[in-house]
Amino acid sequence: MHIQLVSFDNEHQPAIRAVRNTVFIEEQRIDPGLEYDGLDDAAIHVLLSIDGQWAGTGRMLKDGHIGRIAVRKEFRGLGLGARVVQALVDEAGRQGLKRVYLGAQKYATGFYQKLGFTPYGDEFLDAGIVHISMEKNLI
C-alpha cells in the first residue's frame, strides 16, 4: 500500500478522477457537474494505491472541510477509507487547524464516529443523498 498527499495537478488528476468517477459517478450516479465542483484545485488530496492500482482518494479544503472520500469497491473492507481520512486529519494537524468537518452520507456516520467524528445539526440532502454534518476537534 502507498499513500500520498498530492495536488489536483496534471500528474495526479487522472488517478483522482478515476477513483471518484468509479465510486461517485458510476456507482452512486452523482452528476459529474456536482462531483467536480471547482474546489479541487484549492484542496489537498490523498491518493492511495495497492499493488500499483489506484484504490482510494479524498480531499481537504483549507478550512478543514474533508470530502470526496472514496474507495473502489474491490478494495473496501480493508481499512483504506480510514487511512485516507486519517492522512487528511494528520495534515490538518500539521497545518495548525483546530477542527476538521465533513458531510457524511448517512449510512457512513458509524464509520466516521469510529474515527472520532461527532455528528451535529440536522440531516440534509446533497446530490440527492441524505447526509449529516460531522466534526472532529484537533486540540
- CA-to-CA distance for 69 and 73, rounded, in angstroms? 13
Q: What pLDDT is stored for residue 70 in this prediction?
A: 97
Residue at 44 is within a domain: yes
pLDDT tens for 11-50 read 999 999 999 999 999 999 999 999 999 999 999 999 999 9
Q: Is the residue at 14 inside a domain?
A: yes
Please identify every stretch of the chain with a pLDDT value under 70, giving residue numbers as ranges: none
Which residue is it, cell 500499483?
A: 52
pTM: 0.95
Residue 84 falls within a domain, yes or no? yes
pLDDT value at residue 82: 98
Neighbouring-strand partners of residue 21: none
CATH number of the domain to which 51 belongs: 3.40.630.30
What pLDDT, on a 0 to 100 scale, did the predictor assign at position 105?
A: 94
139: in domain: no
* Nearest one of 48, 37, 45, 83 to 66, comparing CA atoms: 45
Helix (H) or strand (E) holding 93: helix 80-94
Domain region containing 88: 2-97
How many domains in the chain? 1
Cα–Cα nearest to 115, from 48, 58, 52, 49: 58
54 lies in some domain: yes
